[in-house]
Structure 1
Amino acid sequence: MAAPRSSARGKTPGLAWDEATLAPVVLVHGAEGLLVDRAVERLVGLAREVDPETEKTTVQAALYQSGMLSVLTSPSLFAEPRIVVVESVEATTDALMTDVIAYLSAPADDVFLVLEHRGGVRGKKMLDAIRASGAPVVTCDPIKKDAEKVAFAAAEFKRGGRRATAGAVRALVEAVGSDLRELASSCSQLMADSEKTIDETAVSRYYGGRVEATGFRVADAAIAGDAGQAVALLRHALDTGADPVPVVAALAMKLRTLAKVAGMRGRGGSASDMGLAPWQVDRARKDLASWTPEGLATAITATAQADAEVKGAGRDPVFAVERAVLTVARSAGR
C-alpha cells in the first residue's frame, strides 16, 4: 500500500489518483473530475487483477434509497467478488449517509465499496466517519497552477514511456492547459503521432496556431515591451475565437508572478515558497530587468481594470483588453 502523502496543493493528506489502493471502503474525494475518473478506473482495474470475474455495480448517490447498500453487498449465490461504486456522493441522500456510516463498522467480505465525492459540504458527517475509520482517501484536488500542469503533463509522457523536452511540455501547457482533460488528451495525441522525442517543433505542428496566439503569448510580448507584437497576437487570437477573459487572466498571472519574484528580492525565498516552478522564477527575474516598481504598479492597475470590464463592468471587452495590453507594454522599462 502506498504511503499517504499531501496533495500538490497542500490540503488534506491523501493518496494521489495513481496511488489508489484497494480496501473494503475507499473514498475518492476532490473536484478534479479527470483525476476522480482515473482513480475509480484504477480501483476497478486492481479489483479485476485480483479476480477477473469481479462484478462492478454503479449507484447514483442522489437516487439511493434506504437498505440498498445492504442488498448490494450481501453474499451472492456464487460468492464472486464485487466492487460497488457510488457516484456523485456530493448529492447524497440522508439514507446513504446513514447506511454508509453503519456499514463502516462491519464491511462485507469480498466487496470493495468506492465512494466518489466531487466537492462541496454535503455529506460531511459521512466523509468524516470514513476518514476516522482509517479507510484510504484518494485526493483529487483541482490542478490550477502552471507548475502543477507542467508536472502533470510531464508525468503523462513518462507514464506513456515517451521523452518530452521541458520546452515542449511548457509550450503544450500554454496552448491547451486551461482544461486538464484536454491537456491529457493532447499528451496522448502527441505520443501516438510522434515517433521520436517530443519537442517544441512537434507541439507547434499540432497546436501551432494556439501556441502562437494564446493569452500567454500576448502577455509575454506585452511584458517584453513589444507593443506591436502584443497587439498583433491579441488581434489574431480574438479573430480566431479567443475570449478576452482568459487573455486578461494570462496577463494578470504573468504580472502577479513578476510581483511575487520582485517582492522576494533579497529575502532568499525559493520557488516553492512562492508557489512557482523554478523556470517561472528564472524567467520572471529576466523580465524584471526591464521593469521598475512604478511601471509594474501601472501595469497591474490597468490589468485589474480590464479584468472588471471584460467580466461585465464595461461595454466593450475587446477595447478593454487591447487597452490593457498596450498599457502593460508601454509600462515596461518605465
Structure 2
Amino acid sequence: MATVFGKVLLISGNAEFLAERTRRRAVDTIRSQQADCEIAESSAAGLGPGELAGLTSPSLFSSASALVLTDLQDLPEQPQAELLAYVADPSPDIAVVLVHGGGAKGRGLLDKLRKHPAVTEVKVEAPKYERDVVRWLREELRALGAVIDEQAATVLVTSVGQDLRSLAGAADQLIASVPPGSEISEEVVRRYFGGRAEVRGYEVADATLDGRIDIAIERARWAATAKVAPVLITSAMAAGLRQLVKLATAPPGLRDAELAAHVGAPPFKLRALRGQLQTWDPDGLRQALDHVAQADLDVKGASADPAYAVERMVLRIAALRRRPARG
C-alpha cells in the first residue's frame, strides 16, 4: 500500500454521500498506516491567516499527523496562499485530505492544486440521469464482487429511488443475501425489494405529474406507513420534473434514442413523458421545481412533520397543472 503521508488527497464534486464515504475511507487508510496518528478535522470556512500552518505542523504526541479540511470552496484568500505553499512542499509526516463541495466557487484554487504532483484528486459527481444511476449501481455491485444486469439494476433503482446512500445500502443488503460471486437477477431484486416498489417515490411523482391527485396522496401515505424515506419521494419528483423540462426544451428532429439520451430517461418512458408534458407549461414547471426544493429542505430537517411536507408538495404541484387542450 502506497504511503499517504507527504501526500494530499483532493475530493471534489457534488455527490455528498460519495464524498463522505471517500473521506471516511481515506481516514481509515491513514489509521491503518499509522495507528497512533493524530487527525485534526476542520472546516475551511473559518480559517484565519496562519491557522493552516498550525494544522499542518508535526504533532508533539505522535510521529505522524493528518488534516481533514472540509468546505474547501469557502477557504478565504490568505489561507489559500498558505495551502498552495504547503502542497508545493508537503511534510513527509503529514497526510492531508481536502474536500471541495463542487460548483464554481473555489474553482481557481482547485485548478492550482491540480498542478502539484503531491495532489491526487478523486472526483465524486452525482449521476445526472436514471441511466447513469443504473450504471453507477452496477459498478457499485461489481466492486463488491457481484454481477447485476441492466434490467435487474433498473428494477432496483425504480424500487429504491435514485438516492445514492439508499442504493448503496440496498447493494450491501443484496451482497449479504446471496452466495458470494452470484449474479443478482431481476427475480432476486424483486424478492427483496418488491414490497418497496409498491410505495416507491416514482409512483408518487408520476401520479402527481399525471394529475391523479387521489392516487398520489394515497401512495404518499403508504410510503409514510412503510417508512420509505421522504427524501426518496422529493428526489423522484425533482427527477420527473427535470425530465419534463428537458423534453420541453429538446432540439427538434431528434430520434427517440437521441431524445431519450437528451432527457435522461429510458426510451420506453418517452410516451408517458409526452403525455405528462401536454398538461404543463414552462411557468408551471418552474414553480413546481421551487415547491420540490422547499419540500426537500423540509424533509431534511426544516419541518417537524416530513410526511405532511410531502403531501403539501404533492398538492401544490398538482394544482399547477393546466387542463389538456381539447381536440
TM-score, scaled to structure 1:
0.66
- Give the distance between the partners of 2:219 and 2:314, measured in 1 at CA: 11
Is 2:268 the counterpart of 1:283?
yes
- Does the CA contact (< 8 Å) of 1:218 and 1:231 recur in 2? no
The match for 2:43 is 61
- Does the CA contact (< 8 Å) of 1:22 and 1:112 recur in 2? yes
Q: What's the secondary structure of 1:153's corresponding residue? A: helix
- Give the distance between the partners of 1:254 and 1:28, measured in 2 at CA: 29
Residues 189 and 24 of structure 1, relative CA distance in 2, 3 Å threshold: same
Residues 249 and 140 of structure 1, relative CA distance in 2, 3 Å threshold: closer
Q: Kindly report which structure 2 residues correspond to 1:1-334, keeping only aligned pairs within 5 A, or say none.
A: 24-44=7-27, 51-53=33-35, 55=37, 57-62=39-44, 64=47, 66=50, 68-69=52-53, 72-74=56-58, 80-93=63-76, 96-119=79-102, 123=106, 126-134=109-117, 135-195=119-179, 197-217=183-203, 233-240=215-222, 241=224, 248-253=237-242, 255-256=244-245, 263-266=252-255, 269=258, 272=261, 274=262, 276=264, 280-284=265-269, 296-299=277-280, 304=285, 307=288, 318-319=314-315
| Range that drifts further, 112-121 or 184-193 | 112-121
- Does the CA contact (< 8 Å) of 1:261 and 1:285 recur in 2? no
Cα distance, 1:287 vs structure 2: 5.4
- Give the distance between the partners of 1:106 and 1:308, measured in 2 at CA: 47
Q: What's the secondary structure of 2:148's corresponding residue? A: coil
Residue identity opposite 1:217 in structure 2: E
Q: What's the secondary structure of 1:31's corresponding residue? A: coil
Residues 213 and 258 of structure 1, relative CA distance in 2, 3 Å threshold: farther
Note the residue ranges of structure 2 that are not aligned, 5 or more in a row: 225-229, 295-310
Cα distance, 1:173 vs structure 2: 1.6
- Does the CA contact (< 8 Å) of 2:47 and 2:76 recur in 1? yes
Cα distance, 1:169 vs structure 2: 1.5
- Does the CA contact (< 8 Å) of 1:90 and 1:118 recur in 2? yes
Cα distance, 1:100 vs structure 2: 0.9
Residue identity opposite 2:134 in structure 1: V
- Give the distance between the partners of 2:96 and 2:28, measured in 1 at CA: 14
TM-score, scaled to structure 2:
0.67
- Give the distance between the partners of 1:100 and 1:136, measured in 2 at CA: 15
Residues 139 and 149 of structure 1, relative CA distance in 2, 3 Å threshold: same
- Give the distance between the partners of 1:150 and 1:233, measured in 2 at CA: 27
- Give the distance between the partners of 2:96 and 2:191, measured in 1 at CA: 45
The size of the alignment, in residue pairs, is 295
Residues 234 and 28 of structure 1, relative CA distance in 2, 3 Å threshold: same
Residue identity opposite 1:144 in structure 2: K
Cα distance, 1:24 vs structure 2: 2.4
- Does the CA contact (< 8 Å) of 1:28 and 1:114 recur in 2? yes
Cα distance, 1:34 vs structure 2: 1.9
Cα distance, 1:27 vs structure 2: 1.9
